[in-house]
Amino acid sequence: MTKTPASSSESSALLPANNGTPKPSVRTAVAFTANVSLAILVLTILSVISMRSMGLIIKFLLILFLLLGWAYSLLCLYGLYLWCRGEVPLTNSNKDVDGKYIVTTTASTNDRTIEYFVWGSTKPNATVTVVCHGSNTTGKYFNQYLYPAKTMEAMNVKVISPSYPGHGGSDAQPFRDITDWPKDDLEPILLAEGVDTFMIQGSSYGTAHAMAAASYFSPDRCLAMGLNVPYLPENICREFDLHTDADYILSESSLSHPWILLPILSLLSLTYTQIAKGVGMIAEGPAAMEQIPAVIRALEADCRRSFLRGPIGQAYEMLNSSTNQQWPDPRDIQCQNVAIWYAEDDGACPPDHGEWLADVFTKKERKEKTCKTNIRHEKKGLGHFTYMDHASRDQGIMTETLLAMILDQQ
């Protein structure tokens, strides 16, 4: 995907600070919102004048139409306010006391603030693991729950957990490519922390970022990759006729239209506290809430935190297929130690995505002798949360597995 520079006719007021291309322009967004509001006002006046001569059913339908029109107009007005306001500024009052913040400049963006968290072992010889969070979360609560500090210290593992663009304290990067994330975000973090070699793990949306990083860094740096309930990029799904969420979310061009973007911003701003509760909508949600409620509490807390700086970043992450369904071909990954764990009853990431990945890397192990794999697939009623249960968490099973694979290789 090609990113074009902002034209001089488009105001940066429409953007989170310093990032991305302003789509639509201020002029277009304001003109659209004004026209919608004016049209609804005129229709309301005309309807009131002529309503006496209408039948009861026609009156009811007209009133319903006007109510919906006013609701849409108000959503657009509020969305325009949010759009022009941009991201909530990151200040000392909303920075996390446990977080670390660095500012980077890339070829595609101006200065961007990146947030990340560090915990676990502080020993100089600690093994570093980068953990990539799922969608609608940040580098804080959910990952800190899944990778407990005491467990990581006992394993002599230092955890680095970045927040993706537009999540938590990290500046948004509209229309970004996950392919660029290792270069734009992760590499500056590793440099700031003085990290040479590391392993990387991800769950759900985090597996896309883990695969992108394993594609970008050489196997001499990225020593191991762990994918927990993974999913595949759109191009692989098209090639092998697999389910892809790209069929159900918006494209970059759609999000460039004010009639779509502005009400979305309003709805996200008004309902974000309820988004995490959507876990109950997948089949395994109730079982997870009953058996491992602490996971759900951590997920809900992190989901709220992902909107720390407003809805703009999340609009481009949650709903933009150009971002969350595209990353490098997993078949090109050269990482020499790979763990792939998927649930056979996963209601969020299709199990056949995990099976496809397992087949690819098993072939690399058996036929090409280029990597070592650890494959797990289970069906125990927890679906997407299968490897987030108490045992997996308290024992750090995937981290322990990757460590053992690295040690065995050495």
What pLDDT, in 10s, does the model give residues 211-220? 999 999 999 9
Q: Kindly tell me if the per-residue pLDDT of 109 is higher than 80.
A: no
* Predicted confidence band of residue 54 (pLDDT cuts 50, 70, 90): confident
Residue that has been written with the tokens 């392919």 in this structure: 179
CB proximity list for 291: less than 8 A, separation 6 or greater: 382, 389
Rg (the chain; Cα; Å)? 23
Instruction: Say how far residue 55 (Cα) sits from the centre of its chain.
Output: 50
* Predicted confidence band of residue 50 (pLDDT cuts 50, 70, 90): confident
Mean pLDDT, rounded, for 382-400: 93
3-state secondary structure of 9: coil
* Predicted confidence band of residue 408 (pLDDT cuts 50, 70, 90): confident
Comparing 206-215, 273-282, 298-307, 370-379, which segment has the lowest mean pLDDT? 273-282
Q: Kindly tell me if the per-residue pLDDT of 111 is higher than 90.
A: no
* Mean confidence (pLDDT) of the chain: 90
Whole-number Å distance between alpha carbons of 263 and 171: 22
Q: Kindly tell me if the per-residue pLDDT of 301 is higher than 80.
A: yes
pLDDT (0 to 100) of residue 285: 87
Q: Kindly tell me if the per-residue pLDDT of 208 is higher than 70.
A: yes
pTM of the model: 0.91
pLDDT, tens digit, for every residue of 116-168? 999 999 999 999 999 999 999 999 999 999 999 999 999 999 999 999 999 99
pLDDT (0 to 100) of residue 133: 96
pLDDT (0 to 100) of residue 9: 34
pLDDT (0 to 100) of residue 12: 37
Tell which residue, 183, 207, 240, 172, has the closest CA to residue 12.
Answer: 172
* Beta strand 157-162 pairing with 112-120: antiparallel
pLDDT (0 to 100) of residue 51: 82
Q: Kindly tell me if the per-residue pLDDT of 2 is higher than 80.
A: no
Mean pLDDT, rounded, for 387-404: 93
- Percent share of the chain, pLDDT over 70: 92
* Predicted confidence band of residue 178 (pLDDT cuts 50, 70, 90): very high
Q: Kindly tell me if the per-residue pLDDT of 11 is higher than 60.
A: no
Mean pLDDT, rounded, for 318-323: 90
Q: Kindly tell me if the per-residue pLDDT of 22 is higher than 70.
A: no
pLDDT (0 to 100) of residue 400: 96
* Predicted confidence band of residue 103 (pLDDT cuts 50, 70, 90): very high
The DSSP code sequence of 79-115 is: HHHHHHH-SPPP-TTTS-TTEEEEEE--SS-S-EEEE
Whole-number Å distance between alpha carbons of 71 and 66: 8
